[in-house]
Amino acid sequence: MSKEPVYLDDQLEDDIHLRDLVEKYLRHWKWFVVGVFVSVIAAFFYLKYSIPVFRTEASIVIKEEDNGGMASQLSALQDIGMLGSMGGASVENEVEILRSKRLLQKVVKELGLNVSYYVEDGIKTKEVYSNIPFYVKVLKYNDQVNLPEVMPEEPYVFTLINDNEIKIDNGEEQQKYQLGSKIILPFAEIMVVPNIVKKKQLMVDSNRFLVRFNTIEGAAIGLEETIQVSLADKNATVINLGLEHPVKRKAQDILNELVNQYNEDAIIDNNLVSKNTAEFIDERLKIIGSELDSVETNKVSFKTENKLTDIEAESVLFLENVNEVSKRHLELATQMEVTNTMIAYLQEGDNSKLLPTNLSGQESEGMSELINTYNTLVIQHNEMLKNSSEKNPVVKNINSQIDQLRSTVLNGLETQKTGLRIAMSDLRRQEAMMDKKIAKVPGKEKEFRGIERQQSIKEALYLYLLQKREEASINMAVTAPKAKIVDYANSTIKPVAPKKMIVLGGAFLMGLLIPFLVIYVGDVLNNKIVTRKDIERALPSLPIIGELPSLGDKEDKTIAEDDRSVLAEAFRILRTNLQYMFVNHHKEDGAKTILVTSTTKGEGKSLVSSNLAVTLADTKKKVVLIGADLRNPQLKQYIQHNKRQTGLSNYLYNEDIELDEIINPSGLKQNLDMISSGSIPPNPAELLMGEKIGVFFEELKKRYDYVVIDSAPLLLVTDTFLINKYADVTVYVMRSGYAESKFTDFVADTIKQKKLDKVAMVLNDVSMANFGYGNKYGYNYGGEKDSMLTKIKKVFIRS
């Protein structure tokens, strides 16, 4: 398989294009230096007057709840699919709680962050936080106004006059107030209280402060946007807190207070179970106490009515036999009462209510663990509802888990109840057999024994509930914080912003980028012909025989005797290159006729034609310059002559005028003559179409060595096309920065239609930076006639 050949010319061309692109920007290196200098100076001022920002960090670890032996039972239930994914509060949930507006609003209220204080330090305004002469407390916001809209954008100015007075300036008026008095502002009622710290201990040596107000909600939103809460590791329970703020002490207090509020909130949540249990026990104690009082009253009434004193002494033998059965019956009755109560409580189906714990006795420890799990899920459910709704997928998942666990607990309690019922039924059968044996016991004694049994059951249950209430109270008293502080809030020694090297580096790049973009955008938006390469790309088949430098307003635009200026040298180069256009010209053909034209006016064709004629005359050849632009002649700007003298238009119009009558000396060279355009005719095109124009050129070619024609612009009139046939070479002038790029299409179309022949391009008014091929080598001629502007250009080019 053959490989495609590599063309070295194409590769060289790409290299040249890349080099040209680089040189185009390097040509403006001074702008890049200025841009970098200005940007770096601006960066230094920014670093000097910007307020440094420090990073403050704290870390906490979330304690795992100790559920004892519940884990194995829960894992067994999960394995058989009876419970969903259950467990303690996930660390991700705690992260969201730490970010919640509810906690942040508590932090704002506790630290008074809805009011900020600033002092002016030169052109900087710095925030101050602690150890200031006074504090502003917002007593009440005005509920009748929309607070976020009326909070003042401009700060209030508080000036401490003395230890008892303060002056407040809101930008419109000033007013004095007593410290400690109520002050009415448009958006709130405030009070200014003095700081109890001694004045010599104050860190801020100023009595004038700028005070900004905000709402509690607005300040909390601001904290939410700036505080970062993240996990130290996805498998860890350590949470990192971060805050970037210019005041270290304030940032430290915010993070520490956030942890404190989180712990207080967690303690309140943890106490909900114990509190609910205590309330449930109190309600049951009232009921059991009332029932116990009723039984004791019945016992007293029974003894009084039947005049009984010592029934037990009369039935010692019977009680010894039934003692064991009664004891067992008492235990079962107690458990049945507790079980029925729990079942009724669960059947209410409220997912937000906690279950009482530790009420099931020694034989129901597994059920107690399930109740603990149920309460944990209820707490999570209530916590999530503070920041979400019932439609949240996480809340729905927790509700599903609670429902499943409630069903499991109910099933367990029902099973336990059935077992108790069977055991009690068995005891009743035993009691029935024993009752037959004591049938002879008097009925009153039997009735009295039933009353005492009821009394014993109620007393046992009452004492049991009292014990559990004490346990719940103890749990509330010893509740530990949920978050353990690993590191208290600590701030960095060095500021994290602004970063000096990054700012300076960015300024340096910006200083390079701005000039680059300006040059690039200017190049993209430019629709003008600027350099010879613009012509070469659009008209590759046309030769460019010369480039003429840009001239200042005060510089001479006509070549003088022995002129060594850049303009003169440029025309000498043009003259030399022009000779290659006459390779096929023979002496018998007569004078070499050169027609100078352009696309539109103002491109310098008159300058080119006049100076080209002068340059050709320097070769000791006879030259005649013809002003063939009959509509807007401009040769007078370069060669002085009387505009009213007889010229070409007069010669073509009047048959009586001979050629010698319109030929005049130029006054610049002895061998340079000039034929002016003459009077401006109403029909120049018709004159140029006449037969006399051919005779005119034929005669001139016999008399002179060179005939230079200054013609009219091609795009505007047809005059030049009419006389182009008499020219041997057409010099087409385009002005740099003036001629539009689309003019090259006009030139191409004109040549394609054979309206012009033997065309050579000249680029006029080229800046010194673009002169030649970018004026890479800075080669330049100069003489005594160089103006100061030209000399300055030379210095810039050589640099």
Side chain identity, residue 153: E
C-alpha separations of 758 from 178, 727, 753, 755 in Å? 98, 9, 13, 10
Mind giving me the DSSP string for 350-391? -TTPPPP-S-S-GGGHHHHHHHHHHHHHHHHHHHHHHHS-TT
Could you tell me if 231 and 34 are in contact, meaning their C-beta atoms sit under 8 angstroms apart?
no
Side chain identity, residue 508: F
Q: pLDDT at position 202, please? A: 59
Q: pLDDT at position 347, please? A: 78
Element holding 189 (H helix, E strand)? strand 188-194
Cβ neighbours of residue 651 closer than 8 Å, sequence gap 6 or more: 657, 659, 661, 662, 678, 692, 696
Could you give the CA distance from residue 99 to residue 228 in angstroms, rounded to a whole number?
8
Structure tokens at 577: 């290159």
pLDDT in tens, 740-758: 888 999 999 999 998 888 9
Could you give the CA distance from residue 613 to residue 582 in angstroms, rounded to a whole number?
16
Q: pLDDT at position 71, please? A: 39
Element holding 166 (H helix, E strand)? strand 165-169
Could you give the CA distance from residue 168 to residue 452 in angstroms, rounded to a whole number?
81
- Whether the model clears a pTM of 0.75, i.e. scores above it, the answer is no
Q: Fill in the DSSP letter of residue 208.
A: E
Q: pLDDT at position 577, please? A: 93
Q: Fill in the DSSP letter of residue 716.
A: T
Helix axes 365-387, 70-79, angle to 10 degrees: 80
Look at the chain and count its residues: 799
How many CA atoms within 13 Å lie on the side-chain side of 435?
A: 13
The number of helix segments (H) and strand segments (E) in the chain equals 24, 21
Q: Which residues of the chain have pLDDT under 70?
A: 1-17, 20, 64-89, 147-151, 197-205, 273, 306-322, 357-365, 435-446, 472, 475-480, 771-799
Q: pLDDT at position 26, please? A: 81
Domains by residue range for the chain, with CATH? 1-50+498-525 (no CATH), 115-213 (no CATH), 273-479 (no CATH), 531-634+705-798 (3.40.50.300)
Could you tell me if 364 and 370 are in contact, meaning their C-beta atoms sit under 8 angstroms apart?
no
Task: Please tell me whether the peptide bond between 498 and the residue prior to it is cis, using omega within 30 degrees of 0.
Answer: yes
Structure tokens at 548: 């003429």
Could you give the CA distance from residue 284 to residue 281 in angstroms, rounded to a whole number?
5
Could you give the CA distance from residue 281 to residue 489 in angstroms, rounded to a whole number?
43
Could you give the CA distance from residue 25 to residue 109 in angstroms, rounded to a whole number?
59
